[in-house]
């Protein structure tokens, strides 16, 4: 399931990110590519070990931890610290699938990539081309979101970033290991959780049906969660 999560970063935060990123050097984006994807990856990245990468990534992680829609959709167990990329004219990243297992920078910890995330840091009018194209069972979906918004999608999906025709596309990207490995189970839990939230607003927290559905939600988490 593909989820659009708005307002992960405020306009003020986006402006701060961009100001700080304009002050540092970028490296070839192939440094985080797998063997096959490296052949179709043509972009730039902030160095993984640059202090700014960690600083900005920590701001994103804090925002994610306080965003109810993100938490409901991802049910995160752990998040690989965010990285940052830049696409300029004629740069692109052809169709590929993300590595199934990734190591957390600077540690021996390995995480399974259940969900991939792109957090847009450029507004759509600032560049031509550069759409994130995600393939699922219903076809191809082109994604180009406002700065500060995030797209969340299964890491099993083939996806690409189309060639930039003009302008510059800035984004953060990262991966999540969810407590719920199966995408269909995770989507059912998301739908159930959103229904519970709506009923809580309409009926109150102590209504019988709210309590029963909340119990069902937590028992399904208990049944499916991998910790």
Mark whether 197 and 86 lie in a shared domain: no
The mean-pLDDT minimum among 8-17, 27-36, 68-77, 94-103 falls in 27-36
Domain C-terminal end among 162, 178, 194 = 178
Mark whether 122 and 209 lie in a shared domain: no
Mark whether 36 and 121 lie in a shared domain: yes
Could you give the CA distance from residue 53 to residue 47 in angstroms, rounded to a whole number?
A: 7
pLDDT value, residue 207: 97
Mark whether 44 and 121 lie in a shared domain: yes
Mark whether 146 and 98 lie in a shared domain: yes
Could you give the CA distance from residue 174 to residue 80 in angstroms, rounded to a whole number?
A: 6
How would residue 105 be classed by pLDDT, with cut points 50, 70 and 90?
confident
Mark whether 75 and 187 lie in a shared domain: no
Domain that holds residue 193: 183-224
Mark whether 156 and 169 lie in a shared domain: yes
Could you give the CA distance from residue 137 to residue 119 in angstroms, rounded to a whole number?
A: 23
Mark whether 54 and 85 lie in a shared domain: yes
pLDDT value, residue 127: 98
Mark whether 214 and 109 lie in a shared domain: no
Mark whether 109 and 187 lie in a shared domain: no
Could you give the CA distance from residue 148 to residue 5 in angstroms, rounded to a whole number?
A: 9
pLDDT value, residue 35: 67
Say if residue 36's pLDDT is above 70.
no
Mark whether 163 and 190 lie in a shared domain: no
**How many domains does the chain fold into?**
2
Say if residue 38's pLDDT is above 80.
no
Question: In this predicted model, what pLDDT tens digit does every residue of 70-89 receive, in sequence order?
Answer: 999 999 999 999 999 999 99
> Where residue 206 sits, what CATH number does that domain have?
4.10.860
Question: In this predicted model, what pLDDT tens digit does every residue of 120-169 receive, in sequence order?
Answer: 999 999 999 999 999 998 899 999 999 999 999 999 999 999 999 999 99
Say if residue 206's pLDDT is above 80.
yes
Could you give the CA distance from residue 115 to residue 153 in angstroms, rounded to a whole number?
A: 6
Residues 6+ positions from 113 with CB-CB distance below 8 Å: 80, 98, 99, 100, 101, 102, 155, 175, 176, 177
Instruction: Provide the mean pLDDT of the chain.
Output: 95
Mark whether 108 and 145 lie in a shared domain: yes
What crossing angle do the helices spanning 51-65 and 11-21 adopt, rounded to 10°? 170
Instruction: Name the nearest CA neighbour of 9 among 130, 123, 169.
Output: 123
CA 189 to chain centre: 19
Question: In this predicted model, what pLDDT tens digit does every residue of 166-186 receive, in sequence order?
Answer: 999 999 999 999 999 999 999
């Amino acid at each position: 399931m593909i989820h659009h999560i708005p307002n992960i970063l405020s306009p003020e935060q986006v402006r701060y990110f961009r100001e700080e990123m304009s002050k540092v050097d970028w490296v070839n984006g192939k440094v985080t590519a797998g063997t096959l994807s490296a052949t179709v990856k043509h972009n730039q990245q902030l160095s993984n070990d640059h202090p700014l990468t960690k600083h900005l990534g920590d701001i994103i992680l804090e925002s994610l931890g306080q965003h109810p829609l993100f938490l409901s959709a991802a049910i995160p167990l752990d998040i690989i610290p965010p990285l940052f990329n830049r696409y300029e004219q004629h740069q692109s990243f052809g169709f590929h699938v993300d590595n199934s297992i990734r190591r957390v920078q600077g540690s021996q910890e390995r995480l399974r990539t259940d969900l991939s995330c792109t957090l847009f840091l450029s507004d759509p009018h600032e560049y031509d081309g550069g759409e994130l194209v995600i393939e699922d069972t219903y076809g191809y979906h082109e994604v180009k979101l406002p700065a500060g918004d995030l797209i969340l999608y299964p890491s099993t999906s083939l996806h690409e970033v189309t060639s930039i025709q003009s302008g510059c596309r800035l984004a953060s990207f990262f991966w999540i290991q969810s407590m719920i490995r199966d995408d269909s189970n995770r989507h059912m839990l998301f739908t159930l959780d959103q229904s519970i939230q709506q009923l809580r607003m309409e009926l109150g927290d102590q209504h019988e049906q709210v309590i029963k559905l909340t119990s069902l939600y937590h028992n399904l988490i208990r049944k499916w969660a991998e910790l």
